[in-house]
Structure 1
Amino acid sequence: MQSLSIGAQFAALAFLLVLSAMSSMTETVMMASNRYRLRSLASAGHRGAQRAIDLLSRTDRLLGVILLFNNLVNVAAATLASVITINLFGEESWALAAGTVLLTFFILVFSEITPKVIGAHYADRLALFVSYPLTFLLRVSYPAVWFVNLFVSAILKLLRLELHGENKPSSLSVEELRSMVLESGQYIAQKNRDMLVNLFDLEHITVEDVMIPRGMIESIDLRQPTDEIRKQIATSYHTRLPVLEGDNERVVGVLHLRRVASRALESGFEVEDVREMVAKPYFIPADTHVYTQLQFFQENRQRMALVVDEYGELLGLVTVDDIIEEIIGKFTTSQPEAHAKLDWNTDGSALVDGGQNLRELNRRLDLDFPLDGPKTLNGLILEHLEDIPEADLSVRINGIAIEVVQAEDKMVRLARIFRPEASAESSGIDG
């Protein structure tokens, strides 16, 4: 070392700092790279991605080879800096201290922070290239890395922190997948992103959340006159209708209108004909998860089910279309949709039906009504007030102002919702 000129020693020190910078950047690149993107490239035949995946499958070896060379380079740089300081200023303590401080500054700025910031920003690109030299270095230094890792493994076992399954790909929870979809940005179109998020949400939604409430079900009542039943069959927009009978509205079955429509126009058509043509009703409990129910529909070749509570009382009706709409959103049908025009008016309010589903309100109007209790706006207002409201009563729930416009038959028939930013400026509304 003494035979080298001062210029050569400075050049060697600069070279060591560059090697230290490359080592630091490599460590950050490998740890910050997107493993799922690397697996995708590897499956497509990219050799660099395959090497990176192989290295990441054993983090102990990967970190071992990186840190081994990084520390060797840093120690060599510190030794060389001391030699240069002694050659220039002698063995003065102030000179050695100043040299140490200056070298620490250069290592932090040029060999640690700057390369690691670069590596973190371009991790996915650089991982494909740095995997080649890393693989070579690991092969060359494998005995030293293996020997060092013996002590590392012993310490981990002593601390009961032994890691298992390093060769297995890390798994993602549903919430992590959901977050990845939400943060996908430009890679997935907004509509497709919404559909994927809705799929994840199906695990937390029950049929009670998406069903048509009992009061909104169109059904055939066998107690009605034959002419009324015939007219209903001829004019209904649905293909299947539940058939009820008795004061307690007992479900007799489900009538497929296409099978009975032509017969209903005949003069000899009677109520008993309806009773004979109904199919056996398909009942499901209200707490059945939507995703599970979709599978049941497929397995049982059903398209409609009647939702009942724990006492067997009819709560509502759910169809395959209702579940599909939870995934892809509302789509156009031949049925007049009462809620199709659900939107904010120019004055920042929206007039909605009391039986409107809260999930639909949250989705269409971008609101934040609680969904862990009642499923409809009427139920939410009744639960909040703990009383049957009258018209012109106003209430605020979750910061959203609601005015009862029409109350009838012990329920809210019509309500006006104010946009949160608009309702915040309103006065005289409390709850």
Structure 2
Amino acid sequence: MDTIPLWAQFLALAFLIFLSAFFAMAETALMAANRFRLRHQAKRGSRRAIATLWLLERTERLLSLVLIANTLLNALAIALVTAIAITNFGVEEHVIIISTAAVVFVLIVVAEISPKIIGARYADQVVLPASIVLRPLLRMARPLIWFVDLFVNALLRLFRIKPSSSLANADLSPDELRSVLLESGSFIPQKHRSILLNLFDLESISVEDVMTPRTQIEALNLAVPVEEIIEQLTTCYHNKLPVYDGEINQIVGILHVRKALGLLREEDELTVHHFRALLSDPYFIPLETAALDQLQNFQENKERLAIIVDEYGEVQGLVTLDDIIEEMIGEFTTSTPSAARAESFSWDLHGECLLEGVTALRDINKRLGLNFPLDGPKTLNGLLLEWLQDIPDAPISVKIGNCIIEVMQVQNQSIKVVKLRRIEGPALQI
């Protein structure tokens, strides 16, 4: 050491600290890097991204390299400082202790904490250039890593810990992927993120949650006079109508309204048989069918409308392809006056909202930010009847969660109109 200038010794010390800081920063940046962005860049031909993904596929070997390098560099830095102190001040115990403490402090601040903070905060900017250096180092250090791993694996087996080579390749669960979408921030537009989240929700709902209830089905009755059938056809809001004979459970087919209107122009004296000739076969599905499965069934069967029946074969409602698609991308049609009204409800200035009893609880939760349970009744009327265990014959109010529900009108054994009043405060689970 006497023949080496002091400035060269300190320059070597600074170089050791710099290398230690580089490894610490590179390790943190690799662990914090956005793997989805790296895969996207790799598909576009980025060599740095490809090198980074290559390193991440060998996480255990990479960690071994970084830890070995950091340990050796830190030990060399402490030894060098000790040698400098002895050379310049002699074997003085207090000088050696002070110099060692000083270099340990510098290593903690400059070579550990600071570079790791930088690596975590600027992971995407650091990881790509760092991978160009680490990849050849990892290849050159393979024999050393193999030798060290022999002892590491022996120690792990001693404690009955099985080494794993797939640390960085764990698949994301649906809930984890949902969390990734929720935390994507400005990287994914709000509308796109909403569609993807709705697609996850589609797995947990059935056609019952999105169907048009039986009482709201617009259908054609062949048992009424032809004049009434014609009048209904000229004023209907849909292109396809279920057709029944006398009673809604006796559905005999589906009528394309455009074909029927063409029939009105061609025939002078229409009969029920003319309309029967235009019917296509009805498509029936069970009440418990999952919405996502039904979307696929529509595609496979080349259908757009299905009649929903329960276990007794009685009609409960109908669902269309549009109903399921709207669950994913939001409502885009207002084909009936009732649909137009359903789109418009919201809290007024007094924190109140007037609703029909047939309004779906899912729509209320979405539009008003409430938390009504969805595992039971599907409508506001059904929720109140279940809650009250009776059909009220006078105005009554109940408190459910963070909302006061006031029954305003009851008609034909069902609640027709209610008023919701919001209660300020944290949301309550029902």
Letter in 2 for 1:175: D
Structure 2 residue aligned with 1:357, among 360, 378, 383?
Answer: 360
Most deviating of 356-365 and 79-88: 79-88
Q: Is the Cα contact below 8 Å between 1:390 and 1:407 reproduced in 2? A: yes
Task: Write the distance in 2 (CA, Å) between the matches of 1:203 and 1:218.
Answer: 28
CA distance in 2, matches of 1:422, 1:22: 50
Alignment check: 8 A CA contact 2:58 2:165 kept: no
TM-score by length of 2: 0.91
Aligned-pair identity (%): 47
Separation (CA, whole Å) in 1 of partners of 2:425 and 2:18: 60
- Partner residue, 1:285: 286
Letter in structure 2 aligned against 1:395:
V
Amino acid at match of 2:204: H
* Cα pair 1:404 1:414 within 8 Å, conserved: yes
Q: What TM-score do you get using the length of structure 1 for normalisation?
A: 0.90
Paired amino acid for 1:305:
A
User: In structure 2, do the counterparts of structure 1 residues 217 and 95 end up closer, same or farther at CA, with 3 Å as the change threshold?
Assistant: same
Cα offsets for 1:12-50 (capped at 9, x unmatched): 323322221111111111111111211111111111111
- Quote the offset at 1:247 in angstroms: 5.2
1:288-299 equivalences in 2 (<5 Å): 288-299=289-300
Gaps of at least 5 residues in structure 2 are none
Counterpart in 2 of 1:421? 424
- CA distance, structure 2, for counterparts of residue 66 and residue 297 of structure 1: 55
Q: CA RMSD in A?
A: 2.5
Name 1:71's counterpart in structure 2: 71
- SS of the residue corresponding to residue 315 of structure 1 reads strand
Counterpart residue number, 2:336: 335
The Cα offsets for residues 361-400 of structure 1, whole Å up to 9 and x where unpaired, read as 2222222222222211111122222222344211222212
Q: Residues 122-137 of structure 1 correspond to what in structure 2 (within 5 A)? A: 122-137=122-137
Supply the AA of the counterpart residue of 1:258: R
Residue 257 (structure 1) aligns with: 257
| Pairing 1:5-404 to 2, within 5 Å after superposition | 5-87=5-87, 90-158=90-158, 159-165=160-166, 169-246=169-246, 249-264=249-264, 266=267, 268-336=269-337, 337-404=340-407
In terms of mean alpha carbon deviation, does 313-322 or 92-101 score higher? 92-101
Deviation at 1:208, TM superposition (A): 0.9
Once residues 38 and 423 of structure 1 are traced to their aligned partners in structure 2, the CA distance between those partners, rounded to angstroms, is 40
Q: CA deviation at 1:9?
A: 3.3
> CA-to-partner distance for each residue in 1:87-136, whole Å, 9 max, x for gaps?
45544444444334333322211111110000001111111100111122
* Contact 2:402–2:422, Cα closer than 8 Å, also in 1: no
The CA distance in 2 between the partners of 1:110 and 1:390, in whole Å, is 77
- Whether the aligned pair in 2 keeps the contact of 1:348 and 1:422 (CA below 8 Å) is no
Distance in 1 (alpha carbons) for counterparts of 2:377 and 2:136: 63
What's the secondary structure of 2:424's corresponding residue? helix
Cα deviation for residue 410 of structure 1 reads: 1.9
Question: Take 1:313 and 1:249, find their aligned partners in 2: how far apart are those partners?
Answer: 6
CA contact (8 A) 1:20 1:74 kept: yes
**3-state SS of paired residue (2:346):** coil
Change (3 A) 1:90 1:381: farther
Secondary structure of the residue that 1:249 maps to in structure 2? coil
Partner of 1:406 in structure 2?
Answer: 409
Aligned partners of 2:248, 2:187: CA distance in 1, in Å?
A: 54
Distance 1:422 1:165 in 2: 46
- Residue range with higher mean Cα deviation, 262-271 or 119-128: 262-271
